[in-house]
Structure 1
Amino acid sequence: MAEQTHVLFVEDDDVIREATQLALERDGFVVTAMPDGLRGLAAFRADRPDIALLDVMVPGLDGVSLCRRIRDESTVPVIMLSARADSIDVVLGLEAGADDYVTKPFDGAVLVARIRAVLRRFGHALGPGRAAAPSGARAAGPAAGALVFGDLRVDTEGMEVRRSGRPVALTPTEMRLLLEFSTAPGTVFSRDRLLERVWDYGWGGDTRVVDVHVQRLRTKIGQDRIETVRGFGYKLKA
């Protein structure tokens, strides 16, 4: 997988940028490294990479704004890099459309593992923007591969969602999250379970990633569609 994976890496610190680029290239990734957001956006549009790693604090166009611009044009996976785990920038990056984040300083092996985890859940081998359905998804409604919940129709084969007949644009991570809920409507999913099933975390992760994505999904399919069960997690209303 890594041999054909093109990474856009935007980082203004010369030492971190060069060391990380070398580490990723040693693992077989093709890396385009840029020192600021404006050149990062130009490189994204020119090269159409498979994944983008964006530092939050870069000159010209900050990482959050760059993520938002990328998300306006593409569903390519985005990982934000932040110097502080408790920074509000982490949440802002996720709200802008990032799929995950990594805290600096980071170990090169950890970063590679997170990149590969993101690409796996995005169905990288199936092509850009494709998201694989989680195991256990079942057909329902009037057609095979269709999950129907009131005015919401989820096509698990075509990876499309419609609400009241109108298409709903979801990122691959949002799609996987919705599909996970759809496997058992009415069942409460803990944040840890969602991190494991949707984000492919075999280790503990930051549950803010789940909370922000649930909120983003709610704005697209209806605020009342996903219910918060305090102290336990979330469930899709049957």
Structure 2
Amino acid sequence: NRASPKTQSALLEVMEEGHVTVDGITRPVGVPFLVVATQNPVEQAGTYRLPEAQLDRFLMKTSLGYPDHAATVRILEGSSAGRRDVEPVITPQGVVSMADIARGTYLNPLVLDYIARIVEATRLATEVRLGVSVRGALALTKAARTWALAHGRTYVTPDDIKALAVPVLAHRLILDPEAEFDGVTPEAVVGQVLLDVVPPSQSDQQRDAGTRKEGA
């Protein structure tokens, strides 16, 4: 949020279209392409509020917080070591291949229904002026597939959705001004939605999978 509106506009183009336009010339950025942005959460002087359309194009938002004591000590020890060369751990094509594998992770229709109900509930929350968009629902399914695969599974569970709902959905909510004044946070709203929306049981998912298999 320290980038000027003009720079934010350029980022919005590349995050949505996968290319940048400079002096009237459009250039592709290649694949994979990733935007990682830091945001100043405290001091607002000299910052520019990110528009809703841009916030909606970030897959997730998270806060690292302060490092613990042991990590702080390691940082202090490393500060005197000087600059170190960084070796690549994977090729760009390797990232693309892993993304292709993640897209094949199975999502039960009942889990998809669960995602849709969560998203719809954010739009009905009394504290919310603008709820999660369809883009946000798609982002949650994408993140859940990758999360499940990273945990050694070929299928997504409702617990995966619960684990990712706040970092993937909260930054997309626009709260009612009165709710903001009362100290309500988007994270709290998503947390309440997760309590209110009942996830599918494991038996229901197994029954649905069995029905699909018989139909096939």
TM-score with structure 1 setting the length = 0.32
Greater relative CO (CA pairs within 8 A, separation 6+): 2
TM-score with structure 2 setting the length = 0.34
Q: Which has the higher helix share?
A: 2
Query: Highest CA radius of gyration, 1 or 2?
Result: 2
